[in-house]
């Protein structure tokens, strides 16, 4: 067991509470294993009716995965320990997606990367006025993994492609509007919601009773533009579409995309296009594990983390440096099957 996560049962609720406040509750391998173990136990425990996932304290629900650990793996062990992290984290994502009991994720605060992976599979996803949701991986040469291909590709109006490429942050109202959240509660009512669920009340009814109308979703005002400019699965087409419109919004989004890894942007577009065709979440996770195994040791990941997180210079030198330099052959190689004994498998 690890002190990085609090695991309890209260009444009829199993409770997983992330507890790394200084790291905004970013997931470690130990946390993933502890959560998987508790979920396996509760799945056959008749006393546990519902599972609650939240964070113990601080302003983040979960800021992602252990990026420093992954970069260290890429630089020092050829990605071996990083692949192990992805493999087991993805098993947790799949376990939550297929869980036989209702799961309620309280996305109260920063919900990014790995935090998306443990909240989006939940039946109930609760946003608040503190929610900041994003998949910012293209900015560090990674890609929107942890099931991101599945969830983002199923949003309407090319919203998923926009979020995957730009790393745009959504607030709680925008999460509810886009379908990433199922309910919107004031943060002051979360304790009451959890208490009622633990007391045995049905989670959906509890959340409906305590829900409130959020402020207007700002992103709705740009929905038509997003659907138009991000319509293509070719990154070059999206850039050209934005370049052709001389508006403050398009100039800003184009500037944002110019800072991202061209390789990762092309990976994300293919990832979402392929995931949209899949009918099985396990197939999606198998695909994402193939991508992760390759992208982890490609130049852009270590360089992106250096520029954005380690040195904070904000000037990553991407390789390839341009969208045109990222060939179809390179993307094909990133998506290619692994040797059978290395492929991802569910728990």
Q: Tell me whether the omega of the peptide bond preceding residue 211 falls within 30 degrees of 0, making it cis.
A: no
Q: What is the C-alpha separation between 232 and 14, in angstroms, rounded?
A: 43
Q: What share of the chain is helix, strand, coil (3-state, %, to 5)?
A: 55, 10, 35
CA dihedral over 186, 187, 188, 194, signed as positive or negative? positive
Residues 62/118, Cβ–Cβ less than 8 Å:
yes
Query: In this structure, what token pair is assigned to residue 174?
Result: 């925008």
- The DSSP H or E segment spanning 262 is helix 262-275
- The DSSP H or E segment spanning 7 is strand 5-10
- CB count, 10 Å around CB of 41? 13
Residues with a known catalytic role: 65, 114, 137, 145
């Amino acid at each position: 067991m690890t002190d990085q996560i609090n695991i309890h049962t209260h009444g009829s609720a199993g409770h997983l509470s992330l507890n790394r406040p200084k790291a905004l509750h970013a997931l470690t391998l130990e946390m993933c294993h502890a959560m998987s173990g508790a979920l396996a136990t509760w799945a056959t425990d008749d006393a546990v009716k519902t599972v609650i996932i939240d964070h113990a304290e601080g302003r983040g629900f979960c800021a992602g995965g252990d990026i420093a650990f992954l970069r260290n793996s890429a630089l020092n062990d050829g990605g071996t320990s990083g692949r192990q992290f992805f493999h087991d984290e993805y098993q947790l994502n799949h376990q939550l997606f297929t869980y036989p009991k209702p799961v309620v994720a309280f996305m109260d605060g920063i919900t990014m990367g790995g935090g998306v992976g443990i909240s989006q599979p939940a039946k109930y996803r609760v946003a608040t006025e503190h929610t900041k949701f994003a998949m910012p991986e293209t900015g560090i040469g990674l890609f929107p993994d942890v099931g991101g291909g599945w969830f983002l590709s199923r949003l309407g109006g090319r919203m998923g492609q926009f979020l995957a490429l730009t790393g745009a942050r959504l607030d709680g109202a925008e999460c509810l509007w886009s379908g990433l959240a199922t309910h919107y509660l004031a943060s002051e009512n979360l304790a009451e919601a959890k208490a009622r669920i633990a007391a045995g009340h049905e989670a959906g009814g509890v959340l409906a009773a305590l829900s409130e109308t959020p402020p207007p979703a700002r992103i709705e005002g740009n929905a038509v533009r997003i659907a138009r400019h991000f319509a293509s699965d070719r990154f070059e087409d999206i850039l050209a579409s934005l370049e052709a419109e001389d508006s403050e919004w398009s100039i800003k989004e184009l500037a944002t995309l110019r800072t991202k890894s061209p390789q990762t942007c092309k990976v994300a577009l293919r990832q979402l296009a392929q995931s949209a065709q899949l009918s099985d979440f396990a197939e999606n996770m198998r695909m994402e594990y193939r991508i992760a195994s390759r992208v982890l040791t490609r130049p852009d990941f270590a360089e992106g983390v250096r520029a954005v997180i380690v040195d904070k210079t904000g000037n990553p030198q991407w390789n390839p440096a341009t969208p045109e330099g990222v060939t179809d052959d390179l993307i094909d190689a990133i998506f290619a099957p692994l040797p059978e004994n290395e492929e991802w498998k569910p728990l």
